[in-house]
Amino acid sequence: MLKGIHPAISPELLKILAEMGHGDELVLSDAHFPAHQLHHQVIRADGLPIATLLEAISPLFEFDQYVEAPLAMMSAVPGDTLDPAVEERYLAAIRKVNGDAPKVERVERFAFYDRAEKAYAVVVTGETAKYGNIIIKKGVTPVF
């Protein structure tokens, strides 16, 4: 355990966050996401909701300020509907730490999978919300 590091951040996730460079993306996936099919670098965070991880990651992670939307979530498949409370829960977790939250873009399901394949890593969580996956893009970390 380290001071100032949220207990939801595992040593493996902390290592991944430190290794990522600006422009790299991290997928926080729900429990149903085909992570192992899509990616070779999968971290397990079973039992944790994505909002908890976003709150834990946000103090350590600079969201990319050079893109319009450093957050991406999956669009609903035609005939389905999104629960707006899911996105709001995620943004509230980021705002709790940062005071503000970056813009979210919606991405078609298979385009989202394509981005997930190219991401730095995928974190499989215990999230059960439908369309609960989110991609976060890392920005340039300011100099202290």
Residue 139 labelled as part of a binding site: no
Sheet bearing 104-107, strands edge to edge? 42-45, 121-125, 25-29, 134-137, 71-74, 104-107
Q: What is the pLDDT of residues 9-20, one digit of tens each?
A: 999 999 999 999
From the candidates 22, 32, 36, 40, which is the catalytic residue? 22
For residues 35 and 43, what is the distance between their CA atoms, to the nearest angstrom? 9
Q: Name the residue ranges covered by the structural domains of the chain.
A: 17-138
Q: Cα–Cα distances in Å, from 57 out to 30, 77, 80, 111, 113? A: 16, 29, 30, 25, 22
Can you say how many angstroms the Cα of residue 134 is from the centroid of all Cα atoms in its chain?
5
- Is the CATH number 3.40.1650.10 carried by domain 17-138? yes
pTM to 2 decimal places = 0.96
Q: What percent of the chain has pLDDT over 70?
A: 99
Residue 126 labelled as part of a binding site: no
Query: Model confidence at 122, in pLDDT bands (50, 70, 90)?
Result: very high
**Rg of the chain over CA atoms, in angstroms?**
14
- DSSP state letters, 67-84: SS-SEEEEPPPTT----H
Instruction: Output the average pLDDT for the chain.
Output: 96
Catalytic residue list contains 22: yes
Query: Model confidence at 141, in pLDDT bands (50, 70, 90)?
Result: confident
Residue 109 labelled as part of a binding site: yes
15, 109 contact by CB (below 8 A)? no
For residues 46 and 102, what is the distance between their CA atoms, to the nearest angstrom? 26
- How much is the pLDDT for 142? 82
